Amino acid sequence: MKIKNSDRKLFFISIGSFGFGVIVLILGLLFGLHIGTASSQEDVDLSSKPEMKILQDLNNAYIELAKTAIPSVVKIRSEKTAKSSDSGSSQRRSNPFSDPFDPFGDIFRFFDENPIPRQTRGWGSGFIVDRDGHIITNNHVIAGADKIKVTLDDKREFDAKLIGTDPDTDIAIIKVDRDNLPVARLGDSDKIQVGEMVIAIGSPFELTRTVTNGIVSATGRSGTGIGITYEDFIQTNAAINPGNSGGPLVNIRGEVIGINTAIATGGLSGGNVGVGFAIPINTAKNIMDQLISGKKVVRGWLGVALQPVDSDIAEKYGLKEKKGALILNVSGPAKEAGLKAGDLIIEYNGKTVSDNAHLSKMVAASKPNEKIKIKVIRDNKEKDFTVKLAERTEEVVKAMRSSESAPLEDSEEWMGMSVQELTDSIAQRMGYEGQSGVVITNIRADSPAMQVENPPARGDLIQEIEGINIKSMDDYRKAIEKVKEEPRVMVRLKRASTGASWYIVLKKE
């Protein structure tokens, strides 16, 4: 049936009138309901109750805290040109093993060969640390970026330049060419206590000015598997999600006490489950000052390889609790001072050593050539040593990694990767119990292994090469010999920190 224009007008008027009548009816009912209940509510004034006054004061405090802290927080967008994938599948799939805080980890990836380089974008957060426009953030937020853009709280957007990075602590400094910007107040993370209230600010999923609240759940967290050298995290239950990386963790005085860095998801969803980690601001201060001044980050080097102290070791050394750091190998300054394998370090410059991470943190904060007093337990007796620290250089790091890995015959390089046998002790320490394969001990930055979209990392397990199961170094050698003429080789990897397994396709150099 075709409706004439005049009929159509009447039709819509009728609908409108009917709708208006319904609205009037509903409003009348609600008004009557309000009249009927108003008398019963007039006597209840929650604001007059002491309990409500406390809540109102707390509410107002959160509001003022957010107003104070938000202006110095920025959103960071980073761009880089991604390399195309090597696999032939054209199916679009989600990536279950991607790092949720990797700024260039696409929500979806194409596994088909794409000859055209494509731009990938990531986002994160940061906060302004001086009026010259310096901004601190996480290194992983801007790592490998070709362009960095910063959006201020007032929505102005500027290009930023990279000033310096310290991957060992996951800290980076960028700068915008503006002055008189609002600056964050930096607190003292050494004074924080478990249970104190905090807020996290940032741009999760690019949602700027996002504030979440919680408490300090723990301090001194290490062994998280996040993959940075120095772990000494503040743990919080304030909601942290992808995009919060680099943003501030703020105490109730409006002071930044940490840099939001990562989360534990309890799975592969990448969502917040109330376990977030922040770098203590005191750790960041020293790094920040060195990077802003244009200097390289300098750290002390003791020259020890360490093993965690478990209950059995503590008992053997006469300790009532698990503390200290057990020396596995010595070199450099430690060896020159007389320390040796089997010594249990219990004090560093008069401070009790709680664990390996604590000792590493104190050594890193010390300066080269500084003389440090160290107390150890040896043969059930305490002994004191004075060690003159050296500088932790790249050469030192390479030497340490070499000494901690397998013998040379078990460390042949293939496709830029060095590996070692998966021994029982390594499997237990890294979470590979019941698994088989060989462990990656080092990867060259310019190697074929680092050119794939989901590259391996130090500590990953190689389980299969071109369909050949790898259970030992012998299997590994036979496999790489068999595929040495292949232009492309498919390799299956496993990562202990996530439990994820995945394939990569390596191309010959």
Angle at 412 between CA 408 and CA 417, to 5 degrees: 125
Tokens of 301: 């080097």
Q: For the residues of 453-472, what is the DSSP string, one character each?
A: SS---TT-EEEEETTEE--S
Residues belonging to the active site: 140, 170, 245
Instruction: Please name the amino acid found at residue 247.
Output: G
Which residue spans within 390-434 are E strands per DSSP? Answer: 390-391, 413-414, 417-421
Q: Say how many residues make up the chain.
A: 509
- Structure token digits, residue 311: 């209950």
Q: Whose structure tokens read 């401070």?
A: 351
Cα–Cα distance for residue pair 401/405, rounded to 1 Å:
6
Cβ burial, residue 261 (10 Å; 0-12/13-18/19+): buried
Instruction: List, in sequence order, every residue forming a beta bridge with 380; answer none if it has no partner.
Output: none
Within the chain, what is the greatest distance between any pair of CA atoms? 105
Q: Are 430 and 437 in contact (CB under 8 A)?
A: no
244: which 2 tokens?
Answer: 């919060």
173, β-bridge pairs: 136, 164
Strands (DSSP E) along 255-393, which ranges? 255-263, 276-280, 300-301, 304-307, 325-330, 344-348, 351-352, 371-378, 381-388, 390-391
Closest residue by Cα to residue 448 from 401, 407, 506:
506
Backbone angles phi, psi at 429, to 5 degrees: -70, -35
Q: Give the DSSP letter string of 127-145.
A: EE-STT-EEEEEHHHHTT-
Strands 351-352 and 501-507: unpaired
| Residues 158/95, Cβ–Cβ less than 8 Å | no
